[in-house]
C-alpha cells in the first residue's frame, strides 16, 4: 500500500496554494514521520491568472528550496484540460516539465481528467515515462458513470504504461458498495495498480478508502485534517493509523499533530472545510461541492438560501460547477405569473411602513408603535418576525420558498394575511399554508429591474425587501417608511446587495423611501423621535 498526501495540492483551493515556507518544512517532516510515501506538493500549470502561491505551480526552482526528506517521493498534478486544449501536447508538456525526472525533484506526475478528456490525454503518459517519471491518472466523477463507461476507461488505460489509475469520488456521493462495484468494473480490463481519492461530503471518505483497501486498491489519497475542495478528503492523520495497523507497524504522529495544532486547525476553523449537512445533501444529490463551498463563504446566502439552491440544483442538475448556475439558484421566479391580488385594495394613497428584522426595530419599539398609532400607515412585516404588538401589523410578506416552509407554522398562528407569490410556490409550501389567507402577488426576477404591475411585478432579486417595495409601489403608496433596516456592516456583501435594491427602486419607481430608525443604507433617514 502507498499513502499519498495531497494537502498542498487539494488544500490550495482554500488559500490559493499559498502555504508559508515554514509550514511546508514542518509538513514535510511530519509526513516523513507518519510513514507517508508520496507528497503531492502542488499543481503544475500553464495558466497564470490571479495570484497563486508557490504550490499553484510547484516549479523545480521552488522544490529546490525545500528540505525534502529522502524517504518521500514528490508528486505534482496537471489538469488534463490544459494538455488537451493546447495546440501541441508535446509543447505543453515541455513547458510544464523542462527537466527530466533525473534532473528534477519530481518523481510522480498525476493527470486529473474528466472522462471526456481521458483518451486525448493518455499519450502524455508515454512522453512522461520516457523522461523517467512515474505517471498516474485521476479520473474524476467516476461514481456518476455507468458500467459500460467505466469498463471502456479501463480498456483505454490498459494500452498505456500507467503506474496508478485513480478514481475520484468528486461529488462525495459514493458509498462502500458502490466503491466495490467500481473497482470490479475497472478490473474487467485494468490489471495495474488502482488508486482512490475520496471526498467527505457524506462522512464516508475514510470508510470508502478502507473498503477500497479490502478490494485490492493500493494507492490511497488523503490530506491533513481533510483539507480540500468543499468538505475535503479522507484525513491523513486517520488513514496513516489505519494503514499502520494493517501493516503491523508503528507510526509517529507527534510532528503531524503539532503542525495541525499550529497551522491547519486554525485555518480549518477560518475556512470551514469538513462535512456538514449541506455537503451531505450535495453528496446525496450529486451536486458539485464547490457550489456549497462558495455559498458558505458568501454572506448573502442564508441557511434557507443554501437549502433552496440545493433543491434547485437537485432538480436542474449541478454536477458541473459554474458561477452562472450558482447565481441562478438565488432567483426562484424566472417567469412572472398573473397574480390575483391587487395591493391597491389595501394601500391606495396611504403611507406604508415596512418592518425589517434589524435590532433598531426592537430598540425603538415604543416610538415606532407610537408612530403607527399617530399616522396610521399600512404596516407590512417581513416574514414571521414579531417585534411589535400584533394588532398594529396589517399584513405580512414573504417570498422565499424555503423560508416560507420553515415559518409556515408561525404564519398559521399569526393573524395577518400573507402576501406571497402563491401561484408560483412549490406544492409542499402551499400545502403547508392551505389554512392561511394568502394574497397572491406574482413576481418575476429580472436583474436590476423594477417594473410594477397591478397584481405582479418584476424585481431585481427574490429578497423580501425587493418584493415588499414592489407591493407598496403596486398599491400606489403615498410614501414608504422603513424601520429595522440597520444594515450588516459596510464591507458585507448583503449590505451592498440591499443598497443596489434601494438605488434601483428609488431611481426607477420614483417613490420616496425614508427610514425612521438607524440605517447605514444611503437612503433618506429621519428620526422616529422627531416626527
- Cα distances (angstroms) measured from residue 67 to each of 34, 71, 84: 17, 12, 34
Is residue 2 within 8 A of residue 37, CB to CB? The reply is yes
Enter the pTM of the model: 0.68
Q: Where does residue 320 fall: left (phi above 0), alpha (psi -120 to 50 degrees), or beta otherwise? A: beta
Question: Could you list the mean pLDDT of each consecutive 10-residue stretch along the chain, which spans 531 residues?
Answer: 97 95 97 97 94 96 97 97 96 97 98 96 98 97 92 97 95 92 97 97 94 98 95 95 95 95 95 87 88 82 80 83 76 69 97 95 95 97 88 93 79 94 83 92 89 94 91 97 92 84 95 96 95 85
Burial (Cβ within 10 Å: 0-12, 13-18, ≥19) of residue 70: exposed
Whole-number pLDDT of residue 326:
81
Characterize the bridge pairing of strands 451-452 and 456-459: antiparallel
Whole-number pLDDT of residue 430:
84
Q: pLDDT tens-digit profile of 347-368? A: 999 999 999 999 999 999 999 9
- Choose among 110, 18, 28, 19: nearest CA to 69: 28
Q: pLDDT tens-digit profile of 244-272? A: 999 999 999 999 999 999 999 999 999 98
Whole-number pLDDT of residue 261:
95
Is residue 464 within 8 A of residue 382, CB to CB? The reply is yes
Q: Measured between alpha carbons, how far is 115 from 148 in angstroms, rounded to an integer?
A: 13
- Cα distances (angstroms) measured from residue 192 to each of 3, 178, 188: 17, 20, 11
Whole-number pLDDT of residue 335:
58
Burial (Cβ within 10 Å: 0-12, 13-18, ≥19) of residue 98: exposed
Whole-number pLDDT of residue 352:
98
Whole-number pLDDT of residue 128:
98
Whole-number pLDDT of residue 179:
96
Characterize the bridge pairing of strands 418-420 and 438-440: parallel
Mention every residue, 6+ apart, whose C-beta is less than 8 A from residue 141: 114, 115, 168, 170, 171, 319
CATH topology assigned to domain 3-271: TIM Barrel (3.20.20)
Q: Where does residue 408 fall: left (phi above 0), alpha (psi -120 to 50 degrees), or beta otherwise? A: alpha
Whole-number pLDDT of residue 321:
87
Mention every residue, 6+ apart, whose C-beta is less than 8 A from residue 452: 470, 473, 474, 509
Whole-number pLDDT of residue 226:
97
Q: How many residues does the chain have?
A: 531
Whole-number pLDDT of residue 331:
59
Question: Which H, E and C letters describe 376-388, residue by residue?
Answer: CCEEEEECCCCCC
Range list for CATH 3.20.20.70 in the chain: 3-271
Is residue 492 within 8 A of residue 298, CB to CB? The reply is no
Residue 54 CA, distance from chain mean position:
25
Amino acid at each position: 500500500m502507498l499513502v499519498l498526501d495531497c494537502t498542498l495540492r487539494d488544500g490550495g483551493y482554500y488559500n490559493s496554494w499559498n502555504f508559508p515556507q515554514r509550514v511546508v518544512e514542518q509538513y514535510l517532516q511530519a509526513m516523513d514521520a507518519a510513514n507517508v510515501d508520496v507528497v503531492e506538493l502542488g499543481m503544475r500549470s500553464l495558466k497564470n491568472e490571479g495570484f497563486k502561491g508557490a504550490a499553484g505551480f510547484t516549479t523545480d526552482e521552488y522544490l529546490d528550496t525545500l528540505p525534502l526528506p529522502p524517504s518521500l517521493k514528490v508528486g505534482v498534478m496537471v489538469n488534463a484540460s490544459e494538455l488537451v486544449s493546447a495546440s501541441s501536447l508535446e509543447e505543453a508538456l515541455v513547458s510544464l516539465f523542462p527537466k527530466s525526472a533525473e534532473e528534477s525533484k519530481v518523481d510522480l506526475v498525476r493527470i486529473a481528467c474528466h472522462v471526456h478528456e481521458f483518451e486525448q490525454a493518455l499519450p502524455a503518459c508515454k512522453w512522461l515515462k520516457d523522461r523517467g517519471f512515474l505517471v498516474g491518472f485521476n479520473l474524476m466523477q467516476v461514481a456518476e458513470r455507468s458500467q459500460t463507461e467505466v469498463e471502456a476507461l479501463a480498456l483505454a488505460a490498459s494500452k498505456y504504461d500507467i503506474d496508478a489509475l485513480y478514481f475520484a469520488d468528486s461529488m462525495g456521493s459514493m458509498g462502500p458498495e458502490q466503491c466495490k462495484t467500481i473497482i470490479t468494473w475497472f478490473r474487467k480490463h485494468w490489471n495495474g495498480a488502482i488508486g482512490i481519492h475520496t471526498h467527505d461530503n457524506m462522512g464516508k471518505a475514510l470508510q470508502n478508502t478502507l473498503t477500497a483497501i479490502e478490494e485490492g486498491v493500493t494507492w490511497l489519497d488523503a490530506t491533513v485534517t481533510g483539507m480540500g475542495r468543499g468538505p475535503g478528503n479522507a484525513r491523513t492523520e486517520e488513514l496513516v493509523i489505519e494503514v499502520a495497523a494493517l501493516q503491523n507497524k508503528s507510526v509517529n504522529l507527534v510532528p503531524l499533530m503539532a503542525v495541525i495544532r499550529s497551522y491547519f486547525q486554525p485555518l480549518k476553523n477560518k475556512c470551514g472545510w469538513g462535512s456538514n449537512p449541506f455537503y451531505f445533501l450535495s453528496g446525496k444529490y450529486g451536486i458539485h461541492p464547490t457550489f456549497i463551498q462558495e455559498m458558505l463563504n458568501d454572506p448573502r446566502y442564508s441557511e434557507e438560501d443554501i437549502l433552496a439552491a440545493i433543491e434547485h440544483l437537485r432538480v436542474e442538475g449541478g454536477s458541473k460547477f459554474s458561477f452562472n448556475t450558482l447565481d441562478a439558484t438565488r432567483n426562484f421566479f424566472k417567469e412572472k405569473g398573473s397574480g390575483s391580488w391587487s395591493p391597491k385594495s389595501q394601500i391606495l394613497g396611504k403611507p406604508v411602513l415596512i418592518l425589517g428584522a434589524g435590532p433598531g426595530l426592537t430598540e425603538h419599539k415604543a416610538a415606532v408603535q407610537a408612530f403607527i398609532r399617530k399616522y396610521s400607515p399600512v404596516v407590512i412585516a417581513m416574514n414571521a418576525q414579531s417585534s411589535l404588538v400584533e394588532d398594529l401589523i396589517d399584513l405580512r410578506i414573504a417570498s422565499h420558498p424555503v423560508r416560507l416552509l420553515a415559518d409556515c407554522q408561525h404564519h398559521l398562528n399569526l393573524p395577518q394575511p400573507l402576501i406571497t407569490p402563491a401561484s408560483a410556490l412549490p406544492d409542499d409550501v402551499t400545502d403547508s399554508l392551505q389554512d392561511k389567507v394568502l394574497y397572491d402577488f406574482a413576481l418575476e426576477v429580472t436583474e436590476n429591474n423594477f417594473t410594477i404591475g397591478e397584481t405582479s411585478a418584476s424585481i431585481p432579486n427574490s429578497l423580501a425587501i425587493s418584493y415588499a417595495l414592489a407591493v407598496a409601489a403596486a398599491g400606489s403608496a403615498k410614501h414608504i417608511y422603513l424601520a429595522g433596516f440597520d444594515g450588516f456592516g459596510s464591507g458585507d456583501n448583503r449590505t451592498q446587495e440591499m443598497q443596489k435594491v434601494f438605488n434601483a427602486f428609488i431611481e426607477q419607481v420614483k417613490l420616496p423611501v425614508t427610514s425612521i430608525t438607524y440605517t447605514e443604507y444611503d437612503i433618506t433617514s429621519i428620526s422616529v423621535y422627531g416626527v
